[in-house]
Amino acid sequence: MPQIKVACWNINSVRLRINQATDFIEHHNPDILCLQETKVVNDQFPEKPFRNLGYQALAIHGQKAYNGVAILSRIPFNNVATRNFCGKGDARHVAATLEGGLELHNFYVPAGGDEPDPAVNEKFAHKLAFLDEMEGWFADWQGDERSHRLLVGDLNIAPLENDVWSHKQLLKVVSHTPVEVERLNRVQAAYGWVDIARQFIPPSEKHFTWWSYRARDWRASNRGRRLDHIWASPGLACCATGFEVAETMRDLPQPSDHAPILASFDV
């Protein structure tokens, strides 16, 4: 069977970190790279460096200075689509169907602001509404015949106790509150998505993909959270052969606060 490697990375400005992106590609060689927070309109996306590295299939859904998602692939694809979640018109989702039939969805879920109360924080209310819409959409897929689907992205929630540096201290911090975790669990259950990272890293082990800029030495403090995810449909999850976090990208000068994650599949 041919193997494909899929990478997911909140790059926090693709133009600012284009050299880091090409360095990442040269070291990890993913067949597909999904980016979040590209922060650029479509016609200003830096396509050429990616095309020069073999990514001829591009699905770009951008927005000036905020949000933005992209799928860059060495495997041809079609049926590119976006969904306008919550009717806000922001660029938080893009999807494509790869040659061979694998359907790939790239998400950037709202961060939710600082106060975990939808009554006083519109950003948190938006996040919960976004998750509710995801759940309803995926529930509609139940029973269809497509067996190979992949969901990747910065979902901005660390669902498990060992997905954060301190479960007790972060229970009232946005990204790990019970209401968010419960919503994300419902999103996952709506289609039976399988969490690929936790197929390879036991839930009993700490696992992070994001570290705050506030720490002078992020490795020494290691106050991380797992905000970035790769989920697969059950028919694809059984084909997963590996998962890793490219933590060294967080060591670079002016890095993104997220490290890329990668999963491999025999398909």
**CA dist., res. 9 & res. 11, Å (int):** 5
Overall number of domains in the chain: 1
Looking at residue 47, its pLDDT comes to 98
* pLDDT category of residue 145 using cuts at 50, 70 and 90: low
Report the CATH number that the domain containing residue 39 is assigned in CATH. Answer: 3.60.10.10
* pLDDT category of residue 143 using cuts at 50, 70 and 90: confident
Angle at 228 between CA 226 and CA 234, to 5 degrees: 105
* pLDDT category of residue 170 using cuts at 50, 70 and 90: very high
Closest by alpha carbon to 34, among 84, 78, 83, 74? 74
174-231 pLDDT per residue, tens: 999 999 999 999 999 999 999 999 999 999 999 999 999 999 899 999 999 999 999 9
Looking at residue 142, its pLDDT comes to 83
User: What would the mean pLDDT of 240-252 be, rounded to a whole number?
Assistant: 98
Q: Which two tokens stand for residue 153?
A: 């992205």
Radius of gyration of the chain, Cα coordinates, nearest whole angstrom: 17
| Statement: residue 70 has pLDDT above 60 | yes
User: What would the mean pLDDT of 141-164 be, rounded to a whole number?
Assistant: 92
Q: Which residues have C-beta within 8 Å of that of residue 200, sequence separation ≥ 6?
A: 240, 242, 243
Looking at residue 1, its pLDDT comes to 52
Looking at residue 144, its pLDDT comes to 74
Looking at residue 147, its pLDDT comes to 76
78-106 pLDDT per residue, tens: 999 999 999 999 999 999 999 989 999 99
User: What would the mean pLDDT of 23-45 be, rounded to a whole number?
Assistant: 98
Task: Identify the domain containing residue 152 by its residue range.
Answer: 3-266
35-61 pLDDT per residue, tens: 999 999 999 999 999 999 999 999 999
12 in the Ramachandran plot: left (φ > 0), alpha (ψ -120 to 50) or beta?
Answer: left
pTM: 0.97
| Statement: residue 5 has pLDDT above 90 | yes
* Cβ proximity of 139 and 191 under 8 Å: yes
Mean pLDDT across the chain, nearest whole number? 97
Helix axes 122-139, 178-191, angle to 10 degrees: 20
